[in-house]
């Protein structure tokens, strides 16, 4: 029935809760709603459940496992970052980037990452393990709950899978977590408000193309020729640009959706006008948008962001040649918001 073997209550669908606990369908839905709609984790507060069921839940099961353990907040940008402790003592990061209309939550899909992009703090710290679907959803529930105080009304957040980890190396749990976030008995988040970002895992892109939904896909490109991309994103040695672009063309053709590319701007590495031209040659013929992110320097990795004028020149050149792009603010740099950095600092101090 399910693609993984879930053991924790927060990652089960209502019908699976009923099956696990021997409940009637409506009771499974009630329990699911307490967690995913009302964001209640304390069994004693689940007043519509029978005393007997509450006692059984308390004795034998764990509802949630994430414990916010350290957090940082930037006055300037209002960006909030939480380091979450998992049941086995590992830690992951989740970031909330607020906005007038809609907040964006940036969630992690793995503890560490095996891809090892050369500018990324998460890659540098190595790979420890996959997160379960429940551990991913609980990051969202954390920021949605009253305690964090970031959601003061009923507006729904955007979710981006751009925290720690390569989502397509943990495909099944990521897909399950998205279905839980969208569930009609739960948070009911809209598919178009959810974006999965991959460093270019072609197998994952192919599977994602066949999913029957409107969830968005973003590919972290950073280089438009194989020599440079082999160096920056080592996964390129497995799936080179020709294969990657083939899978993206297929994705666009089959789904009709717009593609987003992430491009971390690294000073004197991928920020020149010649390289902007290479990028246009690679993607200019497709329905695409490029997010330009000036690099957040990670100590010891040796990369710097370009000066603002160089970043703007890169952006303007793309625009002149007809490629849509956004130059992202360097938000949260003062709180180590670049992926993996708060955890890295915590582990090394």
CA atoms within 13 A on the CB side of 176: 23
Exposed e or buried b per residue across 54-85, where buried means at least 16 C-beta atoms within 10 angstroms of its C-beta? beebeeeeebbbbeeeebbebeebebbbbbbe
Choose the one of ligand SF4, ligand SAH, none that binds residue 338, judging by a C-beta under 5 to 8 angstroms depending on kind.
Answer: ligand SAH
Closer residue to ligand SF4 (CB): 264 or 325: 264
Q: Which residues bind ligand SAH (CB under 6 A)?
A: 113, 119-120, 162, 166, 197-199, 220, 262, 264, 293, 295-296, 298, 338-339
Task: Give residues with Cβ within 8 angstroms of 79, minimum separation 6.
Answer: 73, 95, 96, 97, 98, 331, 332, 335, 337
CB of 165 to ligand SF4, least distance (A): 6
Choose the one of ligand SAH, ligand SF4, none that binds residue 270, judging by a C-beta under 5 to 8 angstroms depending on kind.
Answer: none
The pair of structure tokens assigned to 248 is 């993206």
CB of 130 to ligand SF4, least distance (A): 13
Closer residue to ligand SF4 (CB): 28 or 294: 294
Residue among 6, 14, 123, 204 that touches ligand SF4 (CB under 6 A): 123
Contact (CB, 8 A) for 280 and 318: yes
Quote helix, strand, coil % in the chain, to nearest 5.
40, 20, 40
Task: Give residues with Cβ within 8 angstroms of 24, minimum separation 6.
Answer: 18
Residue among 95, 115, 248, 335 that touches ligand SF4 (CB under 6 A): 115
Closer residue to ligand SF4 (CB): 114 or 150: 114
Would you call 234 helix, strand, or coil by DSSP? Answer: helix
Q: Please report whether residue 116 would count as binding ligand SF4 according to CB under 6 A.
A: yes
CB of 123 to ligand SF4, least distance (A): 3
Closer residue to ligand SF4 (CB): 11 or 124: 124
Contact (CB, 8 A) for 170 and 110: yes
Closer residue to ligand SAH (CB): 57 or 106: 106
Is 93 among the catalytic positions? yes
Contact (CB, 8 A) for 103 and 142: no
Choose the one of ligand SF4, ligand SAH, none that binds residue 296, judging by a C-beta under 5 to 8 angstroms depending on kind.
Answer: ligand SAH
Residues 162-201 that bind ligand SF4 (CB under 6 A): 164-166, 199
Instruction: Classify the C-alpha dihedral 229-232-237-241 as positive or negative.
Output: negative
Contact (CB, 8 A) for 83 and 93: yes
Question: Choosing from 11, 93, 124, 262, which is the catalytic residue?
Answer: 93
Q: Please report whether residue 117 would count as binding ligand SF4 according to CB under 6 A.
A: yes
Q: Please report whether residue 132 would count as binding ligand SF4 according to CB under 6 A.
A: no
Is 67 among the catalytic positions? no
Residues 287-316 that bind ligand SF4 (CB under 6 A): none
Closer residue to ligand SAH (CB): 30 or 325: 325
Contact (CB, 8 A) for 286 and 260: no
Just list the catalytic residues.
Answer: 93, 339
């Amino acid at each position: 029935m399910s693609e993984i073997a879930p053991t924790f209550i927060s990652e089960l669908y209502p019908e699976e809760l009923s099956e696990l606990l021997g409940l009637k369908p409506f009771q499974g839905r009630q329990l699911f709603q307490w967690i995913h709609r009302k964001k209640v984790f304390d069994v004693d507060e689940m007043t519509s459940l029978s005393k007997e069921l509450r006692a059984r839940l308390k004795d034998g099961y764990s509802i949630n496992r994430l414990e916010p353990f350290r957090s940082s907040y930037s006055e300037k940008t209002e960006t909030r970052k939480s380091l979450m402790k998992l049941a086995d003592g590992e830690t992951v990061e989740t970031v909330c980037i607020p906005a007038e209309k809609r907040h964006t939550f940036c969630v992690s899909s793995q503890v560490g990452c095996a891809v090892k992009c050369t500018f990324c703090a998460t890659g540098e710290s190595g790979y420890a393990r996959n997160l379960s679907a429940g551990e991913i959803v609980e990051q969202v529930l954390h920021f949605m709950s009253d305690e964090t105080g970031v959601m003061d009304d009923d507006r729904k957040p955007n979710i981006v899978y751009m925290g720690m980890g390569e989502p397509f190396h943990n495909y099944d749990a990521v897909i399950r977590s998205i279905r839980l976030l969208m569930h009609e008995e739960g948070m009911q988040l809209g598919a178009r408000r959810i974006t999965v970002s991959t460093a270019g895992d072609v197998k994952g892109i192919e599977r994602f193309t066949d999913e029957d939904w409107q969830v968005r896909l973003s590919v972290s490109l950073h280089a438009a020729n194989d020599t440079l991309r082999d160096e920056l994103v080592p996964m390129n040695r497995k799936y080179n640009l020709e294969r990657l672009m083939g899978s993206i063309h297929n994705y666009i053709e089959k789904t009709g959706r717009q593609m987003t590319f992430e491009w971390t701007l690294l000073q004197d590495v991928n920020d020149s006008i010649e390289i902007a031209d290479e990028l246009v040659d690679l993607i200019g013929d497709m329905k695409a948008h490029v997010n330009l992110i000036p690099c957040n320097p990670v100590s010891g990795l040796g990369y710097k962001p370009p000066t603002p004028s160089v970043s703007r020149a890169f952006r303007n050149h793309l625009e002149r040649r007809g490629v849509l792009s956004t130059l992202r603010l360097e938000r949260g740099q003062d709180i180590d918001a670049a992926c993996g950095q708060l955890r890295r600092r915590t582990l090394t101090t």
